[in-house]
Structure 1
Amino acid sequence: MMKAPRAWALAVRLPDGRIHVERHEELALTLRYPWARLPLVRGAVALWDALSTSYRSLSRSAELAGEEEEKVSGVAFYGTLAASLLVAFALFVWLPARLAGLLVDEEHFRLLFYAVAGLFEAGVLVGYLAFIGRMPEMRRFFMYHGAEHKAIAAYEKGLPLTVENVRAQPAYHPRCGTSFIAFTAVVGVFIYSFFPPLTVAWYWVFPRLLLIPVVAAVAYEVLRYSASHQDPLSRLFRWLGFKFQMLTVREPTDEMIEVAIASTQAAVAERPSEATPVA
């Protein structure tokens, strides 16, 4: 799936080998509403926009591949999203805090506590990504992830979208969602450090849950800034993002690159090349 400001496109390799491509005309929320372009606000809006589009594209791709007979309702989508956020919070915020609490007294050594919690959080995140990366379907998913990055890089350089040109591009991209996840983890450590001890007062879990959009918004600004600047701090953040991308990006096959090219061309309203089979 490729998302452009005015449309998103989906390309799926069908069981018979053809590539099905469809373009959905849809303005990004930041283009529909002026307030959605405000700093900090745009991060939460972009995250919601991306989650919504990703869900629809995954549902549609499963439908085209014959793996899903019925569409999932909107209620099921929002329920799944809420449950996922709760699980993510428990796994990547609450658990690291509890583990850090076993080593450091949060009430008396606040900064040290959150430094240790941040290390545990990074460890849990890396372990989780490394674990799912061993699954055959996820490895294939990560290869398509690399194909997307390469196709975007070729397009941004103004190169013709051929398999040869796309394959020559780097597999890592500074605006990758994996980098966003890494930055969210780092930003969360600093923002949550201003709250009363989580290990002492369990009821502070709910305010922290409400702060997830704020953490995501700040992380988005960090991602946006570091992707387009060359100062030492930006380079450090890009390096951190690329290190995390090593867990979610694999080198794609030529067939996967063909799919990424077809989706990119459809998203930016370019005519697919004659060498790319399109259903």
Structure 2
Amino acid sequence: MGKLSVGGQAVIEGVMMRGPGKVATAVRNPDGRIEVEKGPVHSIADKYPILKKPMLRGSVSLVESLVLGIRSLSYSAKMAGEEDEQLSDKEMAGTIIFAFVLAAVLFIAIPTGAAKFFHFITDDPVFLNLMEGFLRLAIFLGYIWGISRMKDIRRVFQYHGAEHKTIHCYEAGLPLTVENVQKFSRLHPRCGTNFLLIVMLVSIFVFAFLGWPSLVERIASRVVLLPVVAGISYELIRFAGRTTNPIALKLIQPGLWLQYLTTRPPEDDMVEVAIESLKAVLPEEEIVPGTGTYLEKDVPPTTETSELMPSVSQ
């Protein structure tokens, strides 16, 4: 449709949007006003073009999205009044390392360690690796279901729905108004939820034929091959976001179903925040006339913009 490629993430009382060369996080602060932090964002792949090649760009995108996501979450927590100050670079690095370690324990160490209990059926390594993969998938789905029951997370998931609806509205070429945005689906094929589910499924097949060495060797092999899994999954999600092939669309359907857990129907004031975030990363000529009409006329959200967000490559 000739539209710029944009993506986003829900944060605490807000939405982060990323467009070509720009990133913005819009948050509704405790007094009801919308605050927007925006700035340039440069991928390390701009400096090293080889990282834009298929199978490499997936890992780069994953790491950069994690960095941007944590930075945006830190900013949103401060603006929403939940934290006194944003994370320092050292604190952010520590948070990222902790996130990787926790993910490795939950989705690599536990399932591959627990798969040994299937030895009573057979010692076939392919079977054991498949069981490990299904255990990993079960843990992932259980984790998503569990956090979706938490009250605070449900509110974040409403902002997630607002993010998707707003992007849909932009891609349809309509003015970004609350009324227009609310007409669209809260499910989106390029969602990170889709990506994570595809990672789980791809890992089942990638790891199935690695044999069944010691536990340490199994964990190490999964970690080493994670960039391969991420690369394949990223290419699949890119294809799914562009294709109209009915068979391909059927294959990504489970990821869309999972978004019924990770998104919730947003309230109008949440959509207002998502609109402000998306407007901040779009060139003026990309913003359709009529954008920005709010339903709540008594307390119009005021956007205070700061140019504080550093680039990912720094």
Q: Provide TM-score, normalisation by structure 1.
A: 0.91
Shift of the alpha carbon at 1:215? 1.5
SS in 1 for 2:118: coil
Q: Deviations along 1:187-234, whole A, 9 cap, x unmatched? A: 111222232315x44233223223222221211111111222233552
Q: Deviations along 1:38-93, whole A, 9 cap, x unmatched? A: 00111111111111111111111112222222332222222222222222122122
The residue number in structure 2 matching 1:150 is 165
Q: Distance in 1 between matches of 2:240 and 2:205?
A: 18
SS in 2 for 1:154: helix
The residue number in structure 1 matching 2:219 is 205
Aligned residues: 278
Q: Distance in 2 between matches of 1:156 and 1:106?
A: 51
Distance 1:169 1:28, change over 3 A: farther
CA contact 1:132–1:138 (8 Å) conserved in 2: yes
Correspondences of 1:219-238 after superposition (within 5 Å): 219-231=233-245, 233-238=247-252
The one-letter amino acid of 1:256's match is M
Correspondences of 1:70-89 after superposition (within 5 Å): 70-89=85-104
Q: Give the one of 272, 278, 296 matched to 1:264.
A: 278
Q: Is structure 2 residue 204 aligned with structure 1 residue 180?
A: no
* More RCO (CA 8 Å, sep 6+): 2
Q: Give the one of 106, 129, 152 matched to 2:144.
A: 129
Q: Distance in 2 between matches of 1:157 and 1:109?
A: 51
Distance 1:190 1:44, change over 3 A: same
Q: Distance in 2 between matches of 1:89 and 1:183?
A: 17
Q: Is structure 2 residue 57 aligned with structure 1 residue 42?
A: yes
Taking only the aligned residue pairs, the percentage that are identical comes to 38
Q: Deviations along 1:159-192, whole A, 9 cap, x unmatched? A: 1001111001111100000111101111111222
CA contact 1:2–1:263 (8 Å) conserved in 2: yes
Q: Is structure 2 residue 268 aligned with structure 1 residue 254?
A: yes
CA contact 1:172–1:249 (8 Å) conserved in 2: yes
Name stretches of at least 5 consecutive residues in structure 1 with no aligned partner: none
Q: Distance in 1 between matches of 2:116 and 2:123?
A: 11
Q: Provide TM-score, normalisation by structure 2.
A: 0.82
Name stretches of at least 5 consecutive residues in structure 2 with no aligned partner: 1-15, 295-299, 304-314
More displaced, 153-162 or 48-57?
48-57
SS in 2 for 1:23: strand
Shift of the alpha carbon at 1:274? 5.2
User: What value does the CA root-mean-square deviation take over the aligned residues?
Assistant: 2.1
The residue number in structure 1 matching 2:204 is 189
